[in-house]
Chain A
Amino acid sequence: MINYLPILILFIIAVGFAVTNIGLSAILGPRRPTREKLTPYECGIEPVGTARERFSVKFYLIAMLFVVFDIEVIFLYPWAVVFKSLKLFGFIEMLTFIGIMLVCYFYIWKRGGLEWD
């Protein structure tokens, strides 16, 4: 039982910290909105139209594709670090990996994921 005391304390601290901060910012945070403050940009330029403008869903598509391909690079780093000791085996392995990426790329391309209109 006594072993769990620190855990309990930790638990309380974690919840407490989170709740306190959210609560504090809600209570203490000064709310004196002025017209200037509520504009999207406070740097002096008058905003043109609403900031909540719809923008094309294609941005999302590109962003998604970017995120996915971007993250694959993560696997290249460790491979690059130990490239020498992995020798030919590692090279073929990585070629396979890239090959799969190419298939995905081909698929996206043919599906029309990269076309803007």
Chain B
Amino acid sequence: MLNLVGLILLFPLIGAAINGLLGKRLKKDTVGYIACGAIGLSFFIAILVFCGLVLLPPEARLFEKQLFNWIESGSFKAAAGLQVDPLSSLMILVVTGVGFLIHIYSIGYMHEDKGYHRYFCYLNLFTFSMLLLVLGNNFLLMFIGWEAVGLCSYLLIGFWFEKKSASDAAKKAFIVNRVGDFGFALGIMLIFLTFHTIDFTEVFHAASEGGFAVGNFTITIITLLLFMGATGKSAQIPLYTWLPDAMEGPTPVSALIHAATMVTAGVYMIARCNVLYMLSPFTMTVVAGIGAVTALFAASIGLVQNDIKRVLAYSTISQLGYMFLACGVGAFSAGVFHLMTHAFFKALLFLGSGSVIHALSGEQDMRKMGGLKQHIPVTYKTFLIGTVAIAGIPPFAGFFSKDEILLESLVHGNFVYWSIAALAAFFTAFYMFRLLFMTFHGKSRVDHHVMEHLHESPKNMTMPLMILAGLSFCGGFLGLPGASAIDSFLSPVFGGHGHAEISMSGAAVHQSEGHPYLMMVISTAIAVAGIGLAYQMYVKKPELPQKLAGQYRLIYKILLNKYYIDEIYNALFVNSVKKGSLLLWKRVDAMMIDGSVNGVARLVGWFGNILRYLQTGYVRNYAFYIVLGCIFIMALAAFGR
């Protein structure tokens, strides 16, 4: 059964090809069936592969399928191969499963769009790329997938490119990600230089057996560079700014790419490279620190946002921060567990918000919602489940995974991590219920015209919601504290390297028997407190938020403006360049191509324009360059040694 793994990749690719090439001539229904069928088949095969893996004894659960020798030169070999192990099999299930539901949802959501086939082509292509990223058995294939998902995300954010904000957001996402990718690429190069191979198995084997001391400098640099890539893709400080803007894309895209799958690629990558990360305590501290700070930072911004999708976007950043915190303290399986449950409930929340937006004919501002409970009951119920899950109320999925992370951050980290994470959890409960109350409860603030068209979404949109709600409810039982199926399933990937510190969470729970139950109570209390506060402020006394905002004007403004980070970045990278050359700028600006509007690119483009003036068009000048070059070479040859 494991041999079928290639098919998982093949189906989405075929789907993308058919829809991309012939989509225009096909009927809308056919396009939808092809796209969903492709992912559905892929999901089916993924289940088969997963079963095949489970049937093997735990220590043999590593299957590599060599496709062909991709690049071979001298000592360097890169075979294109797929790797199925507990980690990647879990990931493909999440990607194809959640992806399948979102494809079905999209049929309803995108039905009126004129770019229907284009949309499904991109979506299938994205699924293919994401699967490639997950299944690749070496860094290069992973990098290809990494770049390809970036490209698809770019295409999908800018899907409604007629809107300037959409194409700007797409550009921003692309450029910010480039910064991270640059680090990732350098990291891969350094890995090749250090280990002379880029194959996962060989690299990790060499790293654990090769006598690298803990804290080895090279490994630290490698892991930091890889983490730089992860901060770009997974929207962590300082490269997170693109994700909120990415909400310009269609909502199912936000659900699939910017919540459930692509943004978790960074977490996946770090989990995959856990051997390397364990060798570098410094990097681990950086990862945990940035994760914790991002979790709190994004959650605090989420407190006051009014756009329903932006709240969810900041919530995503914050939850990703949790995952990095877990990885940073060595609790990789807790991170992956949270990745999985997060995929369920965040996809649910995004799709639910999409359903709300759909019902309100495109309205996204929560101040213009309210009282929708009766009008769209299915959406409300499922959304409620998702909200409870993310807030961390037992026995919903989010509770178990978040609780595990909180516990690990205390056991393997320190009290600071724990308190930051706990505060962020409080914020999370608060802003999520704020969202719920503002949208579904209270008095309706909906526009009259919109009110007339208010309707529950069609079956093909509510079905995925219900299934995801089910998963959000019961997904957590896979990771019951003390008897975690996830932990034991993933342990071949994360354990068994002979490092004492990596005694994984399962063991940690056993060590501190009394702890977990107390912790569970505390974290539930935190969540309940957040919910209670939200209830107080938005249901009981709706005038309170206004008053508070008035009282703490400064804080409110800072939060509302997202700590002015976008402005600061603009001032640092864009404006300093602009102001420094204001005089020259006016002349140059007319000739600038409209594409290079962004900071660094603009700077380079500016040089390009200067260089253009060298190209005078006169033969005589060109000949003069040749002579100059000749003299330069002579000088270098004669006197340069």
Contacts and interface: CB of A to CB of B under 8 A. Distances in A.
Q: Classify A-B as touching or not with yes or no (CB < 8 A).
A: yes
A87 B277 CA distance: 80
5 contacts: A1-B639, A4-B638, A4-B639, A7-B638, A8-B638
A39 B584 CA distance: 53
Contacts of A1: 639
B142 to A, nearest CB: 52
Contacts of A8: 638
B508 to A, nearest CB: 70
A103 B241 CA distance: 71
Interface string B132-176: 000000000000000000000000000000000000000000000
Contacts, number: 5
Nearest to B641: A1
5 smallest beta-carbon distances between A and B, as pairs: A4-B638, A7-B638, A4-B639, A1-B639, A8-B638
A7 B639 CA distance: 11
Contacts of A4: 638-639
Nearest to A1: B639
Contacts of B639: 1, 4
Category for how many chain A residues contact B = under 10
A73 B73 CA distance: 52
A8 B635 CA distance: 10
A4 B639 CA distance: 8
Category for how many chain B residues contact A = under 10
A8 B637 CA distance: 13
Interface in A1-38: 1, 4, 7-8
Nearest to A11: B634
A7 B638 CA distance: 9
Contacts of A7: 638
Binding site of B, secondary structure by majority: helix, strand, loop or mixed?
A: helix
Interface of B: 638-639
Contacts of B638: 4, 7-8
Nearest to B631: A11
B630 to A, nearest CB: 11
A44 B638 CA distance: 57
A56 B619 CA distance: 28
B631 to A, nearest CB: 9
A97 B70 CA distance: 50
A54 B114 CA distance: 66
Interface in A65-116: none
B35 to A, nearest CB: 61
A4 to B, nearest CB: 5
A116 B279 CA distance: 87
B32 to A, nearest CB: 64
A4 B638 CA distance: 7
A19 B43 CA distance: 80
B636 to A, nearest CB: 12
B445 to A, nearest CB: 84
Nearest to A3: B638
Nearest to A4: B638
A8 B639 CA distance: 11
B132 to A, nearest CB: 57
Nearest to A7: B638
A19 B154 CA distance: 60
B633 to A, nearest CB: 13
A1 B639 CA distance: 7
A111 B639 CA distance: 55
A113 B416 CA distance: 92
B624 to A, nearest CB: 14
A97 B639 CA distance: 48
A3 to B, nearest CB: 9
A1 B638 CA distance: 7
Interface in A45-64: none
A65 B638 CA distance: 44
A1 B635 CA distance: 11
A14 to B, nearest CB: 12
A73 B639 CA distance: 45
B156 to A, nearest CB: 60
A1 B317 CA distance: 63
A10 to B, nearest CB: 12
A7 B635 CA distance: 11
A6 to B, nearest CB: 11
B635 to A, nearest CB: 10
B627 to A, nearest CB: 11
B358 to A, nearest CB: 73
Nearest to A8: B638
A4 B640 CA distance: 12
B101 to A, nearest CB: 73
A24 B551 CA distance: 88
A30 to B, nearest CB: 29
B385 to A, nearest CB: 82
A66 B639 CA distance: 47
A31 B639 CA distance: 44
B26 to A, nearest CB: 56
A9 to B, nearest CB: 13
A58 B639 CA distance: 52
A8 B631 CA distance: 11
A39 B638 CA distance: 51
Nearest to B637: A4
B629 to A, nearest CB: 16
A1 B637 CA distance: 11
B173 to A, nearest CB: 56
A93 to B, nearest CB: 38
B248 to A, nearest CB: 63
A92 B639 CA distance: 52
A43 B436 CA distance: 108
B530 to A, nearest CB: 78
B638 to A, nearest CB: 5
B81 to A, nearest CB: 56
A8 B638 CA distance: 10
B390 to A, nearest CB: 74
Nearest to B638: A4
